[in-house]
Amino acid sequence: MISLFNASAITLLSTLLVWYTSFNVGRARHKYKIQAPAVTGNKVFERIYRVQMNTLEGFVIFIPSLWLYAIYMSDKGAGIAGLLWIVGRIWYAESYEKDAKKRGPGFLISMLTTMGLWLGAIYGMVLCY
């Protein structure tokens, strides 16, 4: 049986990150008194909310790319890239919450990682075809 431990572990860790961003929005709603369904009213809350939404948007592309890369190229490579994605998203989240103008490096790391996984998955699929 082929081991996909690394991709599995990254999936669980990245899901935990998505949960954390959701929890953080709920906490910020309480702290800044933003009643659902409102998503505006306090600049810090709005940035925390955008972190959650942007992380979800990136997650939807990241997870299939991670798994296809793990299957067609390398589980270990997927694990390393997945850790980079998580680090990039954490950097992005922390930077964006403090100052929206400083979110770029974390975003770039996670975007380039996803792109690398996606392109690698295509390459691996073509090789197997």
Task: Please say if the pLDDT value at position 6 is more than 80.
Answer: yes
CB 66 within 8 A of CB 7: yes
**How big is the chain, counted in residues?**
129
What integer best gives the mean pLDDT of the chain?
97
Element (H, E) at 78: helix 75-98
Residue with tokens 């939807």: 60
pLDDT tens, residue by residue, 28-83 = 999 999 999 999 999 999 999 999 999 999 999 999 999 999 999 999 999 999 99
Element (H, E) at 73: none
The domain limits of the chain are 5-128
Distance of alpha carbon 17 from alpha carbon 20, whole angstroms: 5
Task: Please say if the pLDDT value at position 1 is more than 70.
Answer: no
Element (H, E) at 85: helix 75-98
More confident: 35 or 1? 35
Average pLDDT estimate for 12-34: 98
Q: Which one of 3.90.1010.10, 1.20.120.550, 2.40.30.110, 3.50.50.60 gives the CATH number of domain 5-128?
A: 1.20.120.550
Long-range CB pairs of 99-103, under 8 A, 24+ apart, other chains included: 100/47, 100/50
Q: What is the pLDDT of residue 2?
A: 77
